[in-house]
Structure 1
């Protein structure tokens, strides 16, 4: 792979940037069979829509079947996938050169025409694609030859490659439905039993020589987090996502297992901005100051995390602003004052959406409920299973909601999908809440390649977000995968990229 600095010296391609009853799966999966890895999923994917956001379990399955133009390596650096080179030309357009030999699972070649079709379909206003709003900034897609794709934009877009490295923007064969199982990834769909398991096998035409190293993956659903850990300890699975925080120590202490954790995901609150009282920024700010975040870290994450009292920009980031780090500090008197200013001196009743399927989501909601009651906000919890929680979030069926995710990458622009109210509705951000100043600042940040200018823009953006509270940060959290000690090659990706970790299943071996 080659890439170059554009003429203004900006390396735009830097990337350092989810029941009730567990399913044990078919009996034949309980015994080790060759080099087929048994992977414990926390939920059955709510959707196989390649361009939709449906949680990490769905993302992991996508990362086995599909590939995008770009992705990230285990070290967090952006790398080529279906594209072997990407650069800005003299007219400011991004040009992607496709690698030779990449094929779809039906054996047909990946062509520039396929890529152009993906962009034009996903950017349609009614596409409901996770990146629809961003891709709408691409004014035309040119295909000079079968291996060249040129994307033209009205303004320079320094962050465009990151959109095409995200696992919610894989490339599909032209004309395929969005939930197609035909991709260009290392594994092909073999069979699936809804709610129970998904069987994938290695694709022998994968463009990376010698990969995947596994013959296949059996993804088995264990919706109950305690049974998921028990399955790992009993040897019924080889690798598990979402090790619950209360079980991390016992996995670490088990000589037959190992735990791989990273910090990067965060918990936060979203709001329904289409109706009172959360259409009022004073009320949202009151909520921000009403909650003692250390209690969330203790109750939900067993001290494996930290308080988040600002936008989720990590301390290690060059865009971190220490003077804003405690802007949403715990201050119940200030919270009550803000409620009074908003016209709610006696508080109000509301519904807080979360889910009982993931313990950290429920525990976070319970802590928020307790603290909000102290300032007069009477909270009723709504705790459906994950797929229903996603649907309710997408449709705005809540007053406020607990959410957990990561940024799209380690650049501040990666926060746009959680904060930018100009984007289409999505459960990861507040519903119907417009953010004109923030949207404009994100646009300015994308349009400059100068790092110091971007720092100034994003600091202004963060201050605006603190003042208007389109979301409210709650807690950083560790994210852990557990696996047998003989599993190698699987990597929990660094920082905000942890949910991309399924991409390393192409390198995974065990035995």
Structure 2
């Protein structure tokens, strides 16, 4: 195999290896009667459509109902799910071998289901989170019920990671994206809209002995203070989005445990369909106008760090130290850029955020204050989360505060926040054309050589610093709080924190 060693090395280091877990054991060891976990959600999911990005709460529910070909383990390494093995040949064709699994209605998961899912997501009008990636797959072969071969126009080193994303589950042939039939460890029993969702262990799940819980009751506590109070009072067993101001009190409570990781980031997006943010100099001016340390202090109680470049972590082998301060705080430079762009006296605009999450609102308020100092008068628009998502998708804003993670810990995981060739999404700037960045992402995917990829992503970050498809603001810690007796649940590392719901299959009540 001509490039076999390079490709195996790439898979072992960047994607976490192409080996799969073997789930052995008798069928009698399936779902256990482990009690019902009460999980405090930060919001009611705006949508449970399988392939739609609608925030972390929605993703957590989908991770209980559905499974993709792959996923990530608690250590952050790629692992098999519906696929038990995967490999790539000299021509760049990826082959996935499916394990024996079944849908919630008892029918088997087959290769045809994978082909159906890819075809549906790849449709230009699908509005799916992974539409851009799936459209790069030129042919799907299903020689038998358990084998899927994916052809692409050129080799794609990062393809396995696409099928580990929680917005890319496999769906049964003929089902709509809104289907409640999945292959995950829990079935959706009932919904009290705006209040709660009830899920029950699926006794046909393909991992013997899992899930360990009998069920999960996901209860919405939109107010972050009430969410913490419910955890402290014992009304819930596990809570997402522990607010930063409450992390210390959770850590100091012997009855509770805080599982926290750094990885999510806050940033600004722009509506590039109209002035003034269609002008890159105006976007550069915004990038230099804001003192990030004040965001970290005000929104995250110093549990985070300033982000003055693209969100590539300092510990990453793809981190570029020469670009680390590219968007440093420099109000005089900001004013000069505004003058060059034709706005010497500044301008007024609307800044979209949300009041539902305190860190979003606080971040917006700090940005508003600093922008005013260079002549940009930003009026805040702070709807609840579902409306914020809708407005972002439809471009009903001038600039907007957003917080998320990359799709994974590889630079290609930033494609969904940077690549303007993808369908509109609230996670990236509206109507922002990024032809150079789109091309560089394509080049990065096409090589298995790490040094080549480093050079490509350096060029990509340099281009982004000049064109400003987003403005990095702050890294932030992300915490889950739980009763001390809860075990098995893990906050996945770095950019994977929002995948943590995958570990609910292994969670137990003490």
Q: Could you state the TM-score of these two structures normalised by the residue count of structure 2? A: 0.95
Q: Give the gaps of 5 or more residues in structure 2.
A: 18-32
SS in 1 for 2:10: coil
| Alignment of structure 1 residues 349-360 onto 2, 5 Å | 349-360=348-359
Instruction: Tell me which residue corresponds to 2:412.
Output: 413
CA distance in 2, matches of 1:8, 1:303: 40
Instruction: Tell me which residue corresponds to 2:452.
Output: 453
- The worse-fitting range, judged by mean Cα deviation, of 292-301 and 34-43 is 34-43
Encode CA deviations 1:430-461: one digit per residue, 9 max, x unaligned. Answer: 00000011111001001111100000000000
Instruction: Tell me which residue corresponds to 1:60.
Output: 60
Would you say the 8 A contact 1:5–1:11 is kept in 2? no
| CA displacement at 1:134 relative to structure 2 | 1.1
Would you say the 8 A contact 1:308–1:474 is kept in 2? yes
Instruction: Tell me which residue corresponds to 1:30.
Output: none
Instruction: Tell me which residue corresponds to 2:25.
Output: none
Instruction: Tell me which residue corresponds to 1:35.
Output: 35
Instruction: Tell me which residue corresponds to 1:23.
Output: none
Instruction: Tell me which residue corresponds to 2:93.
Output: 93
CA distance in 2, matches of 1:422, 1:85: 32
Instruction: Tell me which residue corresponds to 1:75.
Output: 75
SS in 2 for 1:328: coil
Instruction: Tell me which residue corresponds to 1:26.
Output: none
Instruction: Tell me which residue corresponds to 2:163.
Output: 164
Would you say the 8 A contact 2:127–2:423 is kept in 1? yes
Q: Could you state the TM-score of these two structures normalised by the residue count of structure 1? A: 0.95
Instruction: Tell me which residue corresponds to 1:221.
Output: 220
Would you say the 8 A contact 2:34–2:212 is kept in 1? no
CA distance in 2, matches of 1:92, 1:219: 42
CA distance in 2, matches of 1:34, 1:93: 42
Q: Are the structure 2 counterparts of residues 36 and 247 from structure 1 closer, same or farther at C-alpha, using a change threshold of 3 Å?
A: same
SS in 2 for 1:76: coil
Would you say the 8 A contact 1:44–1:221 is kept in 2? yes
Q: Are the structure 2 counterparts of residues 254 and 8 from structure 1 closer, same or farther at C-alpha, using a change threshold of 3 Å?
A: closer
| Alignment of structure 1 residues 244-263 onto 2, 5 Å | 244-263=243-262
CA RMSD of aligned residues (A): 1.3
Would you say the 8 A contact 2:43–2:222 is kept in 1? yes
Q: Give the gaps of 5 or more residues in structure 1.
A: 18-32
Encode CA deviations 1:30-87: one digit per residue, 9 max, x unaligned. Answer: xxx9610000000010001100000000000000000000000000000000000111
Q: Are the structure 2 counterparts of residues 224 and 8 from structure 1 closer, same or farther at C-alpha, using a change threshold of 3 Å?
A: closer
| CA displacement at 1:92 relative to structure 2 | 1.5
SS in 1 for 2:198: strand
| CA displacement at 1:156 relative to structure 2 | 0.6
Would you say the 8 A contact 2:34–2:508 is kept in 1? no
CA distance in 1, matches of 2:259, 2:426: 28
Encode CA deviations 1:401-422: one digit per residue, 9 max, x unaligned. Answer: 0000000000000001000111
| Alignment of structure 1 residues 474-489 onto 2, 5 Å | 474-489=473-488
Q: Are the structure 2 counterparts of residues 85 and 34 from structure 1 closer, same or farther at C-alpha, using a change threshold of 3 Å?
A: closer
Q: Are the structure 2 counterparts of residues 178 and 492 from structure 1 closer, same or farther at C-alpha, using a change threshold of 3 Å?
A: same
Residue 112 of structure 1 pairs with residue 108 of structure 2: no
The list of structure 1 runs, each at least 4 consecutive aligned residues, that deviate by more than 2 angstroms after superposition, is 4-17
Instruction: Tell me which residue corresponds to 1:288.
Output: 287
Encode CA deviations 1:467-492: one digit per residue, 9 max, x unaligned. Answer: 11100000000000000000000000
CA distance in 2, matches of 1:272, 1:134: 23
| CA displacement at 1:90 relative to structure 2 | 3.2
CA distance in 1, matches of 2:4, 2:168: 24
> Aligned residue pairs: how many?
492
Residue 47 of structure 1 pairs with residue 52 of structure 2: no
SS in 2 for 1:404: strand
